[in-house]
Chains A and B, each alone.
Chain A
Amino acid sequence: MSDNSAALLSNNLIYAAMLFYTLAFFAHAIEVAWSVKTPAKSVKKTKLDFSRTERIGRLASAFMVIGFLLLLPGVVFRGISANRVPWGNMYEFSITGALAFSAAYLFALKKYKLRWLGLPVALSTLLTLGTAVTLLYRPSAPLMPALKSPWLAIHVSAAIISGGVFLLANCIAATYLILDRYEQKGVRPVWAEKLPSLEVLDNLSYRLVALVFPLWTFSVIAGAIWAEAAWGRYWGWDPKETWAFITWVAYAAYLHARVTIGWRGRKAAWLCLLAGSTFLFNYIYINVWGTGRHTYSGL
């Protein structure tokens, strides 16, 4: 297969994946909306009939799986078209990030019964892919010399996977805070009745962070080892390094706050959101507007 047709195939697969994420988004939206519509004749409180939406919910999950299964070869063929790992510019980081994020969701979907999170996950995957194909797209090209290293695969994959899981933890922490607001005022809104209890949400976002914090640590260290080979120093406070450090410190603080001091609930969720937003800031701001040695080939 020629490089060009591989690049074309990759683009088409990504468009197809976006179609299925869109379908998944609508299916999840219907799932949420429909279950609320059930009329409540006798009872004072609106009662939900989830059996009605079970099928559409499952369909939504199936769409998510298909989207993932299309996105995966889309990313792989992007790599094949350039004869390298597909992590050379921000377009490629974004499609791989979307892949990691939906993979983290599908993994947790089975383990933690996470279908309720499908709507925001489908939406944010769609937004990431949309931004990637419209604003960030660059033709497939070879790597610049500094990126030619086995550490590219190691460092970047660890960073992308960590990012995917951090963001999932962020979604859950945000859900926690929203539901917490409602529960403070009284009861949950009907659409949220199927969602897990606050305690479960609180624990889940902590578990995800604790799971992936060592991987993030590894990613930073792998980056340092690579920087030593490529740039002559293992740590130089380049803006990207600085923000990776800030993210690391923020999550370290989160873990200490939870494990050692015993923060739970609202305070922990805010800290989790704060740490996650430093990651996002690093990815978006430093890549697009930042200076330093992590800015390559115009995005």
Chain B
Amino acid sequence: MSTVLDTRSFLRWCWRQLTSMRTALILLLLLAVAAIPGSLFPQRSQNPIQVKQFFAENPETAIWLDRLSLFNVFSSPWFSAIYLLLFISLIGCVLPRSIEHLKAIGAKPPLTPKYLDRMEFYTEIKKIDLDKVEKFLRKKHFRIRRDENSISAEKGYARETGNLLFHLSLVLILLAVGIGSLLGSRGDAIVNVGDRFINTPTSYDILSFGKYQAEDSLPPFSLTVTDFKAEYDPVTNAAIDYELTVLTANPAGSKEIKKTIKVNQPLAYGSTKIYLQANGYSPIVIVRDKSGKIIFDGPTPFLPQDTNLSSIGAIKIPDMDPQIGFVGSFLPTADRDPIRGGFSSYPEVLDPRLLVSIWKGDLGLNTGIPQSVYRIDTSKMERIGLKALVLNESYDFGEGSITFTGWKSWVNLQIVNDPGKGFALVGAILAILGLLISLFTRQRRIWVKQSGKTQVAGLAKNGIPGLEQEIDELVKEMSNER
């Protein structure tokens, strides 16, 4: 029996500790501190390449950092523990207060305390008519408790309403984040200008689904990239504007509509949005075998390395014997200097070069290990040539030939479905509203008591000044009326 009581009282004690303001404050500060490593170490969710680089440069430290989830700070057990405890503490604090606040609707202010002279504002005045005081305060929308020889008045209940609204909205935002990550999806697809994208999982380069999102739930639209325009500042080479024109049909096969996508103007299908996230060039090459037969003819997306869109990539030809791979870099406006060698001096295609090093051997595509499409594992290959191609130039590398025939732009479409977004927005708006109400509403009590002498006292619940003037005004008004 006693152990039951002990356990109970222990749990109770724990709950009280957790929901105490002091604990909440410590958790808040802990949350701030815990977020710091997330900005100091590269995070997998944002920059997986940098994480890999970190592993390559400091393998031993990286393993330990990884064990401590320092590359996934915001989904780590310790970060989650802090914010979950914080929210439990918040709910444990806010829910009882909400119930109390609901009960207090329409309730009268508490009884006038016995010793008014202990209050923050206190004066003694000549005798006044309590009825008039009551009328005066009622006109000012105070809630009144009238007893025989005292008045207890209170105003500013909205402060607590705002306060509770703010905290409950934070819970809503947390739920919205949860909904988004459990029921959403996010993917990237690189599409050459002129190509069509059909929204099925196989069309994506990368695609991730939330835990409870079915893979067949993608909206069935199609998108044909008809044009991509990039405008650059000729002085600074900085991008000024990107504009993507697409023909889109939902579902695929229905009538196509022309749409424009820009960096700040995604295209929306319900809660799914299509963003223009990056762009680059796909050099077009024709590869022939020894007999002159065309083995490959088409564009290959290359990855931009700098703001002038010097790009690197790989063209893999597994259908030749032996297999051939081209490790390439594409320079839209080729330039040379003795230190850097070849580089691009402008992001538009003005004087393109395709630099290729040609490898023969085993591309390693049949090993089952996923490979980057932009790189070639040359460990089982041998280099047989090196060439800088100008437009329409061919190069014979013995096993066949390569011709650089042109280029296309590619765009990276990011397709995101976040069903929690709307809730997060509502939560955010309510949070600000609640915050404004709670920080700018003055909650205060005024008491007037007559027992021999007439006492007037006031108490401001938050530090916003103004109560003193209010009491002065009341006293003045009542004294004048006599």
Measuring CB to CB, which residues of chain A are less than 8 angstroms from any residue of chain B? 141-146, 148-149, 151, 203, 206-207, 210-211, 213-214, 217-218, 221, 224-226, 228-239, 242-243, 245-246, 249-250, 252-253, 256-261, 278, 286, 290-292, 297
Contact = CB atoms under 8 A, between A and B. Distances in A.
A217 B431 contact: yes
Contacts of A231: 275, 277
Given A148-B264, A250-B29, A250-B32, A214 B432 contact: yes
B421 interface: yes
Contacts of A258: 463
A235 to B, nearest CB: 7
B238 A141 contact: yes
B151 interface: no
B21 A261 contact: yes
B436 A261 contact: no
A237 B463 contact: no
B354 interface: no
Nearest to A240: B39
Nearest to B50: A291
A239 B273 contact: no
B28 A253 contact: yes
Contacts of A290: 39
Given A210-B439, A233-B416, A237-B45, A144 B462 contact: no
B28 A256 contact: yes
Contacts of A249: 28-29, 31-32, 35
B121 to A, nearest CB: 16
A239 B35 CA distance: 10
A278 B32 contact: yes
A150 B32 CA distance: 30
B46 A213 contact: no
B47 interface: yes
Given A229-B265, A242-B39, A249-B32, A141 B233 contact: yes
B95 interface: no
B463 A221 contact: no
B25 interface: yes
B428 A260 contact: no
Interface string B410-428: 0000101010010011001
Contacts, number: 125
B480 to A, nearest CB: 30
B263 A225 contact: no
Nearest to B461: A259
A142 B264 CA distance: 16
B99 interface: no
Given A143-B240, A221-B428, 13 more contacts: A141-B236, A213-B435, A214-B435, A217-B432, A221-B432, A224-B428, A232-B277, A234-B424, A237-B39, A261-B22, A261-B25, A278-B32, A297-B238
B421 A228 contact: yes
B464 to A, nearest CB: 8
Contacts of B29: 249-250, 253
Contacts of A239: 39
Nearest to A275: B32
B35 A242 contact: yes
Nearest to B29: A253
B36 interface: yes
Interface in B32-48: 32, 35-36, 38-39, 42-43, 45-47
Contact of A230 (B177, B235, B264, B428): B264
A201 to B, nearest CB: 14
Chain B interface size, under 10 / 10 to 19 / 20 to 34 / 35 or more: 35 or more
Contacts of A235: 177
Contacts of B38: 237, 242
Contacts of A291: 42, 47, 50
A256 B242 CA distance: 46
A235 B320 CA distance: 47
A179 B152 CA distance: 41
B47 A144 contact: no
25 contacts: A141-B233, A141-B236, A142-B238, A143-B240, A144-B239, A144-B240, A148-B263, A210-B439, A213-B439, A214-B432, A214-B439, A230-B263, A232-B186, A232-B266, A232-B273, A235-B177, A237-B38, A237-B73, A245-B35, A250-B32, A253-B29, A258-B463, A259-B462, A286-B39, A291-B50
Interface in B3-32: 21-22, 24-25, 28-29, 31-32
A253 B266 contact: no
B266 A256 contact: no
Contact of A214 (B28, B236, B416, B436): B436
Given A233-B418, A260-B21, A148 B436 contact: no
A175 B421 CA distance: 43
A206 B439 CA distance: 11
A145 B39 contact: no
B74 interface: yes
B32 to A, nearest CB: 4
B240 to A, nearest CB: 5
Nearest to B28: A253
A237 B35 CA distance: 9
Contacts of B416: 232-233
B262 interface: yes
Given A236-B45, A242-B38, A245-B35, A257 B240 contact: no
B241 interface: yes
Contacts of A214: 432, 435-436, 439
A246 B38 CA distance: 11
Interface in B78-114: none
Contact of B463 (A151, A207, A261): A207
A232 B24 CA distance: 33
Nearest to B435: A214
A142 B240 contact: yes
A252 B275 CA distance: 34
A237 B177 CA distance: 13
Nearest to A206: B463
A210 B465 CA distance: 13
B241 A148 contact: yes
Nearest to A145: B263
A213 B438 CA distance: 12
Contacts of B43: 237
B35 A246 contact: yes
